[in-house]
Chains A and B, each alone.
Chain A
């Protein structure tokens, strides 16, 4: 069964006809050609397909495209416009060598950006000491909150360093 839907992807509007069975991930990759979100497991077990949908980080492999009609999606390709160069998180990933094969990387970066927004909103994590207080940006918090993004190359040490670098950048930006 075909269904028509509209998606805004990295600022560009698309109207596509999809099979009701098509996942949001496959719609992005196969139909729209947005291949920054990767298919690593197709079952919500690796985080490689993470994008930012309507401001929140989500996996896209377990969503049916048809249920996300009208959504606005930002992938790692659309984190900053061409004039501004790379997003500070992307720059930090390069400088800290926070990846090897690069396949999980777009998902890691979207997840890291979404994760920092969640901390800024005061959302707790499993390792937040006291749930009554807003969380602080400890290494343990970053590691726990990025644990939904597997990296088989084992770049976790550098991913932590990259997130640290990116947050310092944004602190400076705010000052």
Chain B
């Protein structure tokens, strides 16, 4: 081993990023590109009746106007999200119903405003309610152990509360962008797009467009954040591709505006949750009943299942989990960092804090008392469950000992002070199927190629380190190639599975390379390999764990909340690159703080669209919101989970952090907030 893994390493793409020369989707050079601006529906449900584009077409510089009727036809219209411009149906407000392509972005945007559309409209409904008449359970309730109702009725302590989380938008700093170029001679489409998985874009779009996979190349070397919203192609990719087919030989650039980024590129569904915890006087849980609701779109199937988090988190004699879907006239919800886990853990960990208060037990101690020996959902052994050590270490770092649990009694000038904590977990996910090609370039230098994506996670660097150790060379001798579907197939950067899935494939391929070429390979020696299944042994559950500790200041007159101090301690297996992993964990915690205090997409039920559709009205934290915050981890390795000994780290930072802040707000003020976000209006009292 060369021990590249575990060495704090600067990003290999660092110079390109700090000098602004790393090419994001919009920035690849094309000759004489043209620009697309979409026409969007201004009704939430109905159909396009008339689409008059003559005024738009008469503008100098307009090259094409695509309508629901004249756009190139798709070979497969079974995906309602992506079957755009194939007919008049409008399923949500803001849906793409046309597109103008022109020689400049200014002309395209102006001409778009001249398209006149008339609709037939139907009544629409965009309000998520737990008692919605059309709700339906996603699956049968998951029941484990004894009868929940019986255990609840006989419990010495019961917490029975409702929680909610709002609609949230991923809002990566790089707005989604697609540049499509159809080469009519080669019958080949190149799509330069911001994606978390180039091959998944090919897999999805090629059949829709009637292309063989080899007729579509997706290029995406640098991606300006995604947080789930770039994990699958969305409408902009499809419309750019249609534009390219309509204008062969021209690169059609479509940069989604920030406002459009609040419509059709995915978002986190709001949730409504009902939690009932039954416990003995000593705080040990006897029952967990977690019921959740999220919305689903007629144009998609994604489900934000918040109740699943309660399957494995704590021991209990009885548990019942059920998730309901409410069909609404909304755009398709999609992945957003820790989908299900983030909102679910908010409810569970606030409920646990309420139980700690009711039982008169320290909240850290309460979690320790309910730590399960085996995975309650399956009876499996844990590959490694070190939540308790995270709790102890976090408490030590934070100075939790001797905390006075009484709420609303600590003051500093005009401000109230409080502290709170919560646990975190995220399942270990390994997605089989990644292929890797390793080539010996001569002189002990290697090129390692796979279609992985670096959305800011540090994959360029992390995979270099894994390759170096697997090939037993220094990291300087490894050249990584990622971010292109012309490279060997790779799975999506999502579910905290990237490093696990790609890294495992690299390790396996390096072993195959040695078997094939020996320890002294010729220049040009090459092996393609991969892993076809999850190596996790039967009978084991693997997951990451963590603990958040937070101090807040709350102004009782204005409801302002500040977070002067926040600590996260995590158990994530072996850390490949401490420098980038710390950044990911901190980034998750910042997003958790954001979820707790700032983020809320306000969907106006009268119109059906999100009216807080920019970064001035949809608030994410600024630098001044993040004060003394740090993340650390236990020294460990989990070789039952992956050959590198690592587990996922991308999402766990957001899980539980919002609850820790809400619990600290309770401790500061005595006000229990169960509905996010905790904005000043939520805390001001008359």
Contact = CB atoms under 8 A, between A and B. Distances in A.
Q: Do these two chains really belong together in a complex?
A: yes
Interface of A: 19, 21-22, 26, 29-30, 33, 35-43, 45-46, 48, 75-77, 79, 86, 90, 93-95, 97, 99-106, 109, 127, 139-140, 142-144, 146-160
A70 B627 CA distance: 40
A151 B173 contact: yes
Contacts of A39: 26, 175, 255
Given A101-B173, A106-B18, A154-B594, 20 more contacts: A26-B106, A36-B21, A38-B20, A39-B255, A45-B615, A77-B20, A97-B583, A100-B225, A101-B174, A101-B225, A102-B18, A102-B224, A102-B456, A109-B18, A143-B627, A149-B623, A152-B173, A153-B225, A154-B591, A154-B626
A35 B20 contact: yes
Interface of B: 10-11, 13-24, 26-27, 29, 104-107, 110, 171-175, 222-225, 227, 255, 257-258, 455-458, 579-580, 582-584, 586-591, 594, 614-616, 620-627, 629-630
B562 to A, nearest CB: 11
B433 to A, nearest CB: 25
Contacts of A22: 104, 106
A86 to B, nearest CB: 7
Given A97-B580, A100-B583, A154-B591, A40 B19 contact: no
Contacts of A79: 19
Contacts of A97: 10-11, 579-580, 582-583
B632 to A, nearest CB: 13
Contacts of A99: 17-18, 456
A50 B410 CA distance: 42
Contact of B10 (A95, A127, A153): A95
Contacts of A48: 173
A154 B18 contact: no
* Chain A, interface SS category: loop
B223 A101 contact: yes
Contact of B623 (A30, A37, A160): A160
Contacts of B21: 36, 77
A35 B18 contact: no
A155 B105 contact: no
B624 A106 contact: no
B626 A100 contact: no
Nearest to B589: A154
The 7 closest A-B pairs by CB, nearest first: A36-B20, A154-B590, A103-B224, A101-B456, A102-B17, A100-B456, A106-B20
Contacts of B173: 38, 40, 46, 48, 101, 103-104, 150-153
B13 A156 contact: no
A43 B614 contact: yes
B588 A154 contact: yes
A157 B582 CA distance: 11
A52 B212 CA distance: 47
A159 B255 contact: no
B626 to A, nearest CB: 4
- Which of A38, A90, A97, A142 has the most B CB atoms < 10 Å from its CB? A97
A28 B104 CA distance: 14
A102 B222 contact: yes
Nearest to A45: B615
Contacts of B105: 26, 30
Given A150-B622, A153-B583, A77 B258 contact: no
A60 B20 CA distance: 15
A21 B106 contact: yes
B13 A147 contact: no
A147 B10 contact: no
- Which of A37, A43, A79 has the most B CB atoms < 10 Å from its CB? A43
B225 A90 contact: no
B586 A158 contact: yes
- Which of B14, B588, B614, B620 has the most A CB atoms < 10 Å from its CB? B14
Nearest to A109: B18
A37 B20 contact: yes
Contacts of A152: 171-173, 225, 227, 591, 620
A99 to B, nearest CB: 6
Nearest to B224: A103
B586 A157 contact: yes
A26 to B, nearest CB: 7
Nearest to B257: A42
A105 B15 CA distance: 11
- Which of B104, B456, B594 has the most A CB atoms < 10 Å from its CB? B456
A41 B225 contact: no
A146 B623 CA distance: 6
A126 B29 CA distance: 42
A104 B23 CA distance: 13
Contact of B457 (A37, A86, A100): A100
A102 B588 contact: no
Nearest to B617: A45
Contacts of A140: 624
19 contacts: A19-B106, A22-B104, A26-B106, A38-B224, A42-B258, A45-B258, A45-B614, A45-B616, A94-B14, A97-B583, A101-B225, A103-B173, A104-B173, A140-B624, A150-B622, A153-B587, A154-B589, A154-B626, A156-B625
Nearest to B578: A97
A100 B588 CA distance: 12
B11 A76 contact: no
A29 B23 CA distance: 12
